[in-house]
Amino acid sequence: MIMKFEEAAKFGTYISKSFAKDIFRLLNNYRDISASEAASRLGIHIQTVQDFLEAMAELGILAKKETIERKRPYFRYTLKIQKIVFELDLVEELKNTEGDALANSKIREKKNAGVRFSLARNGQYFSSLAIWVGKGRERSEKKISLTTAQGKFLYNLPFPDGEYLTIEEIRIKAGIEPEDLPEIKDLAEELIQYKVIELAAG
């Protein structure tokens, strides 16, 4: 089964519980089981078991069927699959959200961004930057350490009164390898959110 990142995270959270193996053992041995039956069998709070069973059902690992007893409905759970093998495509799941759109946009440093750049020892690129985030008493300084490629990118970012350039144009000007573009785009996206970098109008 192929899971999205959020599903894999949810699965990992529940499968790491100390009682997970015991619940799956019951599910494997019983034709079907309710949350209350499993809870009493294992000496665990019923809501804890209910949450676990529901999570596994939502992930498609268990099947659930509503049953009525003494006019009260409840669910019984059955193992839907007996072997769990999942794939997580990190390249597809974690790629930059703005990706291609940002690559074709022209950018430059925003005027009065309130950012402080720190030069690397050789003076050829930036090693870090600091910006203020939040408002009023909640305002705090956020420091971002930069990779060499990111430092070169920002060192060659057009000034607030300079001509807008695309990320690719800045990459070539800075002598950055194409393989470093993903981390450049990731940083650019964040700095656009913090209003350090601005996009050309239109």
Task: Tell me the pLDDT tens digit for each residue of 94-103.
Answer: 665 555 567 6
109 and 188 co-located in one domain: yes
CA atoms within 13 A on the CB side of 67: 12
Whether residue 87 lies inside any domain: the answer is no
Q: Is 149 found in the same domain as 110?
A: yes
- How many domains is the chain partitioned into structurally? 2
110 and 63 housed in the same domain: no
Contact 184, 176 (CB under 8 A): yes
Domain limit, last residue, from 79, 107, 123: 79
Give the separation between CA 115 and CA 160, rounded to whole angstroms: 12
Mark whether 30 and 104 lie in a shared domain: no
pLDDT at position 71:
78
CB 181 within 8 A of CB 95: no
Residue-number span of the structural domain to which 41 is assigned: 5-79
**CATH code of 33's domain:** 1.10.10.10
**Residue 194 and residue 103 in one domain:** yes
| 107 and 35 both lie in a single domain | no
Structural domain contains residue 161: yes
The amino acid that residue 98 corresponds to is E
Calculated CA dihedral for residues 69, 72, 78, 80, nearest 10 degrees = 130
Low-confidence ranges of the chain (pLDDT < 70): 91-101, 103, 202
pLDDT at 76: 95
**Alpha-carbon gap, residue 108 to 188, rounded angstroms:** 10
pLDDT score for 104: 78
Mark whether 102 and 193 lie in a shared domain.
yes
User: For residue 32, is it within any domain?
Assistant: yes
105 in the same domain as 70: no
For residues 40 and 133, membership in a common domain is answered with no
Q: Are 46 and 34 in contact (CB under 8 A)?
A: no
Distances (CA, A) of 190 to 60, 93, 98, 124, 131: 35, 18, 11, 23, 12
Q: Which of 7, 42, 6 is closest to 24 using CA atoms?
A: 42
Residues 6+ apart with CB under 8 A from 160: 108, 109, 110, 111, 112, 113
127 close to 118: Cβ distance less than 8 angstroms: yes
* Same domain, yes or no: 40 and 106: no
Which pLDDT score is estimated for 42?
94
Q: Would you say the C-alpha torsion 164, 165, 167, 171 has a positive or negative sign?
A: negative
Same-domain status, 74 and 111: no
- The answer to whether residue 140 sits within a structural domain is yes
Assess if residue 90 is contained within a domain: no
56 with 9, same domain: the answer is: yes
Evaluate whether residue 84 is within a structural domain.
no
How buried is 7 (Cβ within 10 angstroms: 0-12 exposed, 13-18 middle, 19+ buried)? middle
